[in-house]
Structure 1
Amino acid sequence: MGRKKGRDINGWLIVDKPAGVTSTAVVAKVRWALDAKKAGHAGTLDPDATGVLAVALGEATKTVPIVTNALKCYDFKVTWGAETSTDDASGEVVRTSELRPTAAAIEAALAGFTGEIMQVPPAFSAVKVDGERAYDLAREGVEMELAARPLWVDSLKLLETGEGWARLEMVCGKGGYVRSIARDLGRELGCLGHVAHLRRTWSGPFEAADGVEFARVDREAQDWLEAQLKPLETGLADLPMLRATPEGAIRIRNGNPGEVTTGADWGELVWVADAAGPVCIGRYQGGTVQPERVFNL
């Protein structure tokens, strides 16, 4: 068996994704530029969207579910008066309206889109329908009814309005589609709408302001890029951190429950460290932690 191509490199590279490139292409470019064995991302961004794309490298890929489940913030502009096939500006206009909402009407409607809501994903989305991606079926002209799914919307605020548009900010949990919010808000207001511009300003512990420009991934030397990496444990900021005893760390690294010197709630998801660094993600069980993902650092 030949060695898997690439270097053992662990950590997070935060990319400020530009419009016009897919999330998969960003990950592939980062992996190539750093010659990394393994890479993945924590939450897809639409090709036309910009902002935080957190790329996990090596052992940091084991922390991806934690970041994916964290809250995310989107700054977006909705154009009123037209609904499109994709619910953003890249699609064909399918319905139009002469109505335009007032700022007061928009504000009043926002309350119905906060808290635990049910959301139908856009037809052009990565949701799977009978094993196929919805966007592949939509491109083939297949009519489909996507099922509504629950979404936690922490907050939805009106930032500014103009002639025929509104700018909003949404903080939401995993699996939220801003395009669906724009579409449903437009329908609720009777004026129709679609996303004209979308930017993810932060995702869990990562902020767009800290992101590397995508163009620099290609341009900069490998050691410069490596210097921009954030440690693996940055992705674990939302979990309590517990300390393992020396014997406990050995047991955990072998996949067994290991003793820790600090506590948490029974059954709580935590991460464990010792003097050498992160050891695992696991469940606290009264003095010990049962590992679920062990880090091989």
Structure 2
Amino acid sequence: MSDHSKVHDLVARYPYMFEVEELAVYAGWIDPIQALCEEIHAQLEAGAWTFHFLQIKEKFGACRIYFSLGLRPTEPGTDVARQNLAHLKEHIGHRVEAAELECSSRCIVCGLGATPQRHGAEVAPPLCQQHEWSQGQPNPREIAPIPIPGPAGSLAGGSAAQHKQVPSSRNPGFTSDSEVELTRATMVREGLLIEPERLARSWGESVEALAQACKRKELFLLRVGGRDFYPAVFASLSKDEVHRINLELRGDDDAGKLIFWYRTHGGVRGQNLSQALRRGMVDRVLELALAWSEERGLVAIRSPKS
């Protein structure tokens, strides 16, 4: 079966997993992603859960997978249901992490064993010896993605899904209010920001409970087109951990907090926060969040430990 046929078959078998447009699936990742989908489907079968991928992409030479898992709208949000949801989210998070690691050690073209390549400061995705890129040849990074059919949209070489960037303090990406609004609208379209209802379903909470958490600074949201949106990364993590970290992010710079959540951090081995949390690095992430506030003069700087 060809790579394209494998992807078509995968989406046909699990259409509910591929609701979001422009999921970047490299040819060399298909087998691990297929195995991941099979495992997740087995966990969800006959359950009261909703699931779909938010992003599947390459970043800094490695595979990154983000997902949304929640209770069905018709299911009561009981304490038992929320506890079961938390356990299931943790289990699926571990399986996603394993798939990320496997994809990140495979050539993106053929799936043979390979390691990410460094070109100066840039880290490129893994390529085996046969598919190493040389000047004058097509860039495998641009030709390896396989189009995803149906409601999930399609991919072409160099699609937006591969190159999504969250604005950073070094490269804010906008200089005016209209550009800020455009950037946030793009983040909504690309699945980096989600509606309150989706986060509420994921956590088994009400939208009103999320609003109250915002007042307590346990959450933050961004306004786009007159509507409220939350960072999509929250949906794949424990509510309690998200609350604890946001409480350490002081002040009202919600855009800065969003950048903090999505960018990678050297303090957690070059991972983003969701990856670090899946590896149990909660205390280290809390330290990074407090340091973020200290740098902005929002809390007193701690004395060095003796």
Q: TM-score, normalised by structure 1?
A: 0.24
More strand by percentage: 1
| Greater relative CO, 1 or 2 (CA 8 Å, sep 6+) | 1
More helix by percentage: 2
If you compute each CA radius of gyration, which structure gives the higher value, 1 or 2?
1
